[in-house]
């Protein structure tokens, strides 16, 4: 492990949790607890009308997977285990049949938090959704709403309009009734309603209320002399005077909205209320009261039709101060919610913010899988119910006929195979893999909703603090909708994000750590991690800055502090927390830097950054990039493919990933760090990867950079680099491509993979083995055959000459055509590193109609070249414009040439000064031969860096010590003359991004054309041409370039005869032909004829032209 000099003032009070633990624990909980739970919900399945006949599904369990994850990758299969259960059919109280059932294949999660789906590594992205529960919101200045949101079931809303004092209940978004009518249906009488929803008002205020309210209704019995004014009676100004004379100071009256609701009512009893609400849903139907009551009960008060989930019940209990356990509504919930709604206009603290994290929860992979399984089992149960009704008990094997497993598998497939949240794992590098597993999506599993999402949903909210990274999000239309979990955040049992804080008692930080939800946090005073403390953990100073509530900051005494943050970087996600000096970067550039780290490709010689943040080792370990010893032991065997360690529990083999292709065609390769006989400790890194160095994440290279304008070569963020980077392979990367060919059954017969290909010279097949497959180690170029394949073709009567050939070479030449897999266009050469052959004859599982499948893996080494994109960690990106000889690069006073020349104008306007801090500290650490850690928000200070750097430069003779800004005099490598001004020089960590010029460069003279328009296809993938669009035509018209325009729209596009004649003329050296009629004009001509128009064309002399 690399040791780093730590520049932070605060040591983290807590180690960050395992970065993928939330995914692993969620899925493990689904397999262990979720599956039995959902079976208990569905079983038993009863037939309607045949109560004595039912089917039980009991004892569900997962069998052993047929292949392990490595074999599934090789065979293009899904890593899954069979879900089985015992089915028992009961009739008339007796067990009639029992059978073990296979129900579905459930994909298993790998130890890295991924799934192998059809041989490809996938991840289920966590979903950020609105939590079920009770929400009280203010939709307009005068309109308030209480809304019960279930996981499954009908909505219940109560609306309060304070302008007109109306109060209505809306059931299932269909029926609207006065709220008192609904309360009656729930069993409350008029007096109960008035007493429960009343206000205590001073008698003096009654006169004002008579003017504002339509009616003032009594909510208590009042003795007035020899009579009693009862609940429900209206108070008048005369009665108010009597109350004054009686010495009453206060009186309880009905809430004006309740009074108005009672006035609007058309019913006076519970029975009438039930019938009225029922008629809103089933108009014109007359049914017994019990049936109407049962119908209404099904909406909210039955567990089989209304499901709040434990989360929803937890939220409702918390908001209303209840202690219920039901996962459906009870009348008490509605009564208490109405009470809170009536208080909301006077108490804004009761209102809920939809975008607050207290109202959002995370649906992890396990919960999503549970929902899919539940849906499949419910569908299966519905089908089984229908089959049970018409069941003949005498038949055999009844249970397998009743249970349709197809619906269960289809529901699981809709999540794992076709769901929007099941995505190809981003494997460009381990960081992209890690952040993909920690991603939170607010888009859902339905059609794209990005365009409809409002700014409020996308914006950073105060409750995101230490739970969701405020920086890491895409730059496109999904900005703010796709986010990432913060470094220390965890997901609790209810799916809410929690952040850890150190407990403070009497001004002293204790060793206790407490995780708080977003709404809990607002009740406490929390000090920043950088607060000054003594060696005993006691907070220093008379006053400490704390945050309280949602957006309040104030100074309090240390004894009033409740919590202290555990680390300065706890508000950031993993990508952002890997950027040193992030606090000196503009947020937009920090976002680019966080995102571009995920695009770094694997270098041939990985280097950990000289200037890190201290999180590099943790990121490498939790991403699965490195191999870690699981117990103490001694290494007994090591080779390139495996490491065997003998410990107390016996020998354990660690398999290494060798030259594997990632989903993004980058290299996955691990190499041992231990030797035979070494003693290893539990948790020790025993193998590095192509993205790690000494157990730390290594995405780029440490290069000597100078900020210097260089004759226009670094204009507009272009980058000048030294030839040393090419010569010493510093920025070389390896890319692996996969090519696939299938031998399928066709109508004319099966295709064959063979080396016996008709009409092909022997030289074209020089690299193929006896089976027609390219040999491993072969260097291949564009157009080389990788796999020989022939396909049957239709027969026609041969000519006499062909008969002679057939008699010599046999029937094979006549019946087959060459459909071999060839190497697509590439720059330079590539090497075949692996061949995978699957055959139905060998017992491999292949798709229907496929007899054989061959995959060829080709690796290509890409040297750094002009046009490649480089970037730092601060959003400083650019394209290489020139590669200069080492001797032409600017050089230091001691003769050391710099590696990269960057434009200094790229710094001030972008406001990402973090790169300058990194450059200075990187040079200082490089000169001392050490690596350093500068955590975000608590890193090395400018004065500290420059003071030490000045001393180091003076000691090494690179500066006379007169300058204290870290700049030195550089000399031009071409002339030897010094540059006019001192230059900022230092070591910066630069990444080579996946945007590589060789993959983008494209040229075409002739090529494929569209069938109908006969115009060239578009795009590099189709070997297309360059589009001359409508606006380009306008530009040429504006310049009057008529001849040029005519040539582009005819000969260079879709004048079929003209372009053939032009090609011949170029080959023969003849004059170019005149442009003819473009094919698109012929298409328009034919379309107009289709519309019934008779069209003729004439030349100047009146002669009719043949357009077609």
Domain ranges of the chain: 21-109+366-422, 133-215+254-353, 447-577, 698-729+866-992, 733-862, 1030-1105
C-alpha–C-alpha distance, residues 731 and 708, integer Å: 22
pLDDT of residue 393: 66
Q: Could you tell me which CATH class the domain 133-215+254-353 is placed in? A: alpha beta
pLDDT of residue 1048: 92
Residue 821 forms beta bridges with which residues? Answer: 787
Q: Under CATH, which number does the domain 447-577 receive?
A: 2.30.150.10
Same fold, 447-577 and 733-862: no
| Cα–Cα separations (whole angstroms), residue 631 to 16, 131, 177, 261, 739 | 22, 41, 67, 71, 40
Q: Which regions in the chain score pLDDT beneath 50?
A: none
C-alpha–C-alpha distance, residues 623 and 626, integer Å: 8
Name the H helices within 35-168: 35-42, 69-75
Residue 706 forms beta bridges with which residues? Answer: 901, 985
* Stated length of the chain: 1108
Q: Which two tokens stand for residue 469?
A: 């990274």
Average pLDDT of the residues of the chain? 88
pLDDT of residue 1106: 84
Q: Cβ distance 251 to 205 under 8 Å? A: no
Q: Cβ distance 160 to 257 under 8 Å? A: yes
C-alpha–C-alpha distance, residues 762 and 758, integer Å: 10
3-class secondary structure, 311: helix
Q: Under CATH, which number does the domain 698-729+866-992 receive?
A: 2.40.270.10
| Cα–Cα separations (whole angstroms), residue 155 to 133, 170, 343, 894, 1095 | 11, 8, 22, 76, 63
C-alpha–C-alpha distance, residues 912 and 918, integer Å: 11
Q: Give CA angle at 756 (755, 759), nearest 5°.
A: 120
pTM: predicted TM-score of the whole model, two decimal places = 0.89
pLDDT of residue 82: 93
| 21-109+366-422 carries CATH number 3.90.1100.10 | yes
pLDDT of residue 795: 65
pLDDT of residue 620: 93
Q: Under CATH, which number does the domain 733-862 receive?
A: 2.40.50.150
Q: Give CA angle at 930 (924, 933), nearest 5°.
A: 85
Distance of CA 398 to the CA centre of its chain: 44
Rounded to a whole number of angstroms, the distance between the first and last alpha carbons of the chain is 76
């Amino acid at each position: 492990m690399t040791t780093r000099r730590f520049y932070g003032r605060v040591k983290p009070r807590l180690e960050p949790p395992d970065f993928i633990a939330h995914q692993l624990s969620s899925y493990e909980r689904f397999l262990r607890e979720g599956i039995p739970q959902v079976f208990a919900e569905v079983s038993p399945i009863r037939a309607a009308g045949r109560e004595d006949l039912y089917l039980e599904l009991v004892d569900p369990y997962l069998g052993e997977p047929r292949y392990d994850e490595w074999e599934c990758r090789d065979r293009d299969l899904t890593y899954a285990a069979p879900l089985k259960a015992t089915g028992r059919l009961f009739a008339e109280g007796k067990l009639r049949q029992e059978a073990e059932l296979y129900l579905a294949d459930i994909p298993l999660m790998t130890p890295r938090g991924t799934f192998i789906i059809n041989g490809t590594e996938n991840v289920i992205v966590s979903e950020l959704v609105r939590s079920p529960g009770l929400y009280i919101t203010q939709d307009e200045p005068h309109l308030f709403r209480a809304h019960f949101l279930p996981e499954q079931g009908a909505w219940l809303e109560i609306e309060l309009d304070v302008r007109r004092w109306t109060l209505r209940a809306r059931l299932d978004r269909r029926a609207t009734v006065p709220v008192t009518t609904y309360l009656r249906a729930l069993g409350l009488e008029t007096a109960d309603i008035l007493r429960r929803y009343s206000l205590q008002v001073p008698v003096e205020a009654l006169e004002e209320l008579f003017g504002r309210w339509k009616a003032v209704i009594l909510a208590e019995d009042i003795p007035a002399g020899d009579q009693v004014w009862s609940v429900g009676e209206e108070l008048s100004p005369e009665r108010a005077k009597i109350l004054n004379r009686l010495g009453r100071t206060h009186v309880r009256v009905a809430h004006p909205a309740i009074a108005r609701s009672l006035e609007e009512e058309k019913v006076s009893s519970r029975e009438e209320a039930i019938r009225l609400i029922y008629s809103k849903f089933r108009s014109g139907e007359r049914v017994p009261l019990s049936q109407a009551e049962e119908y209404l009960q099904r909406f909210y008060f039955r567990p089989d039709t209304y499901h709040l989930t434990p989360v929803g019940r937890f939220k409702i209990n918390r908001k209303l101060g209840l202690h219920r356990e039901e996962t459906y509504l009870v009348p008490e919930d509605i009564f208490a919610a109405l009470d809170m709604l009536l208080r909301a206009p006077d108490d804004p603290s009761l209102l809920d913010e939809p975008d607050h994290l207290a109202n959002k929860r995370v649906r992890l992979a396990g919960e999503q899988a549970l929902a899919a399984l539940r849906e499949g089992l419910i569908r299966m149960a519905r089908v089984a119910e229908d089959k049970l009704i018409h069941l003949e008990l005498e038949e055999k094997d009844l249970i397998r006929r009743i249970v349709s497993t197809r619906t269960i598998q289809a529901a699981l497939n809709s999540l794992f195979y076709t769901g929007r949240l099941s995505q190809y794992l981003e494997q460009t590098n381990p960081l992209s893999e890690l952040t993909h597993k920690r991603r939170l999506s607010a888009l859902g599993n339905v059609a794209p909703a990005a365009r409809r999402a409002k700014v409020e949903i996308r914006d950073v909210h105060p409750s995101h603090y230490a739970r969701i990274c405020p920086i890491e999000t895409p730059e496109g239309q999904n900005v703010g909708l796709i986010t990432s979990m913060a470094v220390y955040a965890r997901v609790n049992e209810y799916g809410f994000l929690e952040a850890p804080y150190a407990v403070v008692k009497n001004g002293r930080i204790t060793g206790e750590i407490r995780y708080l939800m977003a709404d809990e946090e607002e009740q406490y005073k929390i000090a920043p991690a950088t607060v000054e403390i003594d060696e005993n953990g006691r907070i220093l100073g008379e006053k400490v800055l704390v945050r309280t509530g949602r957006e309040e900051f104030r100074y309090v005494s240390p004894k009033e502090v409740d919590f202290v943050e555990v680390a300065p970087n706890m508000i950031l996600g993993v990508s952002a927390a890997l950027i040193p000096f992030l606090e000196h970067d503009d947020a937009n550039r920090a976002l680019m830097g966080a995102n571009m780290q995920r695009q770094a490709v694997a270098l041939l010689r990985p280097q950990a950054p000289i200037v890190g943040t201290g999180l590099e080792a943790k990121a490498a370990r939790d991403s699965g990039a490195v191999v870690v010893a699981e117990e103490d032991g001694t290494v007994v065997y090591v080779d390139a493919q495996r490491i065997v360690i003998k410990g107390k529990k016996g020998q354990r083999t660690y398999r290494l990933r060798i030259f594997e292709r990632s989903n993004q065609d980058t290299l996955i390769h691990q190499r041992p760090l231990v030797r035979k006989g070494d003693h290893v400790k539990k948790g020790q890194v025993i193998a590095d990867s192509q993205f790690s160095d000494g157990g730390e994440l290594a995405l780029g290279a440490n290069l000597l950079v100078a900020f210097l304008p260089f004759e226009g070569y670094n204009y507009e963020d272009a980058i000048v680099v030294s030839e040393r980077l090419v010569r010493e392979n510093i920025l070389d990367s390896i890319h692996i491509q996969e090519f696939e060919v299938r031998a399928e059954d066709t109508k004319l017969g099966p295709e064959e993979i063979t080396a016996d290909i008709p009409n092909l010279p022997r030289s074209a097949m020089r690299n193929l083995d006896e089976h027609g497959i390219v040999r491993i180690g072969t260097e291949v170029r564009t157009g080389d055959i990788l796999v020989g394949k022939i396909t049957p073709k239709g027969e026609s009567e041969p000519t006499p000459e062909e008969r002679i050939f057939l008699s010599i070479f046999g029937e094979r030449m006549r019946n087959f055509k060459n459909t071999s897999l060839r190497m697509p266009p590439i720059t330079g050469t590539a090497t075949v590193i692996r061949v995978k052959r699957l055959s139905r004859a060998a017992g491999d599982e292949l798709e229907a109609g496929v007899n054989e499948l061959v995959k060829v893996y080709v690796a290509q080494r890409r040297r750094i070249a002009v046009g490649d994109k480089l970037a730092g960690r601060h959003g400083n990106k650019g394209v290489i414009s020139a590669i200069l000889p080492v001797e032409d690069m600017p050089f230091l006073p001691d003769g050391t040439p710099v590696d990269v020349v960057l434009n200094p104008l790229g710094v001030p306007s972008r406001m990402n000064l973090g790169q300058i801090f990194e450059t200075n500290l990187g040079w200082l650490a490089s000169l001392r031969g050490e690596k350093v850690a500068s955590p975000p928000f608590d890193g090395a200070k400018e004065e500290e860096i420059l003071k030490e750097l000045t001393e180091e430069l003076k000691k090494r003779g690179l500066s006379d010590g007169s300058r204290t800004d870290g700049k030195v005099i550089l000399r031009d490598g071409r002339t030897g003359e010094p540059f006019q001004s001192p230059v900022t020089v230092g070591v910066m960590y630069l990444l080579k991004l996946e945007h590589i010029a060789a993959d983008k460069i494209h040229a075409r003279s002739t090529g494929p054309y569209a069938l109908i328009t006969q115009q060239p296809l578009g795009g590099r993938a189709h070997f297309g041409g360059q589009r001359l669009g409508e606006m380009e035509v306008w530009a040429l018209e504006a310049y009057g370039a008529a001849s040029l325009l005519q040539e582009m729209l005819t000969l260079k596009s879709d004048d079929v005869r003209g372009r053939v004649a032009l090609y011949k003329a170029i080959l023969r050296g003849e004059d170019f032909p005149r442009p003819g009629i473009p094919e698109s004009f012929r298409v328009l001509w034919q379309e107009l004829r289709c519309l019934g128009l008779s069209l003729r064309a004439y030349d100047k002399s009146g002669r009719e032209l043949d357009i077609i």
